[in-house]
Amino acid sequence: MPELPEVETTLRGIRPHLEGRRIERLLIREARLRLPIPPDTPEQVAGQTIGALSRRGKYLLIGLERGTLIAHLGMSGSLRIVAAESQPKRHDHLDLILDDRRCLRFHDPRRFGLFLWTPEPPGIVRVQHPLLRGLGPEPLEDGFDGDHLYDLSRTRRVAVKSFVMDGSVVVGVGNIYASESLFLAGIHPKRPCNRIGLARYRRLAAVIRAVLGSSIEQGGTTLRDFVNEDGQPGYFAQSLRVYGRTGEPCRVCGEPVRQTLIGQRSSFYCAHCQR
């Protein structure tokens, strides 16, 4: 599943090709995504000029003269810039055709993504739209720190990994980044969140910022082929410490990395380094 750095990488890849362009039309091949695309969407967006692109959590916001397009990649989606006349592939569900004869093409084999238009501008959408208004702070912006985590955790008893993956606590800390951040902070993923002190939460928040920030920067430096329909998205190349390394030696102490289930998600940790 695309996580926050991948979504940010996508944003950076498509932004220069969309901002300032006029939408000629929206071609929908398959409207049955996670939320069905309303049939009047093409007429709502046709002829509009695209303004600024932004991100809220894993949602991409495409600002228009009137309203906002909200896109989400779901579990398997991707967005690419291709020639408008290029032959669509299977699971290419829609084209946002631009005035330079290129298009933003949405590919989603599992159809868990979404592509919706709303009449509100991006600033209103970020705080009031039903899909976004319950989201917690962005991990790389003001409003997220160890004090925030500590304060919210006092009345909860869930495992700390589930706690930091809760989008109402902080957005964008997916399974990979939760596992990696907890390892670097030395916190066992099953430890109840209300049994972690302020100092350790401050350390964890700093690590989350560093891990996500580094992954986004790596994504930016390896970005490729957002204008090539045969290319792969420019996701970051990372050296994972624990995620997906069950049985392999911990990079710090040499003990085998362990795997467990937390909230029905595979979780990876070092029993020696994480307490």
Q: Are the beta carbons of 78 and 229 closer than 8 angstroms?
A: no
Q: Are the beta carbons of 228 and 105 closer than 8 angstroms?
A: no
Q: Is 265 a catalytic residue?
A: yes
Per-residue CA distances from 47 to 63, 66, 100, 119, 246 (Å): 13, 10, 13, 15, 52
The token duo for 46 is 């046709």
Contacts 24+ apart (CB under 8 A), 251-258: none
Catalytic-labelled residue, pool 21, 34, 190, 265:
265
Q: Is 29 a catalytic residue?
A: no
DSSP letter assigned to residue 118:
E
Q: Is 58 a catalytic residue?
A: yes
Q: Are the beta carbons of 33 and 116 closer than 8 angstroms?
A: no
What is the spatial distance between Cα 238 and Cα 212, in angstroms, rounded to a whole number?
A: 11
Q: Is 248 a catalytic residue?
A: no
Catalytic-labelled residue, pool 55, 58, 105, 126:
58
Strands (E) in the chain, as ranges, are 23-28, 50-56, 59-64, 68-72, 78-83, 92-98, 102-107, 114-118, 258-262, 265-269
Residue 110 assigned to a binding site? yes
Catalytic-labelled residue, pool 2, 139, 189, 233:
2
Residue 91 assigned to a binding site? yes
Q: How many CB atoms lie within 10 A of CB 255?
A: 12
Residue numbers in the known binding site for DNA are: 91, 110, 156
Residue numbers in the known binding site are: 91, 110, 156
| Residues with catalytic function | 2-3, 58, 265
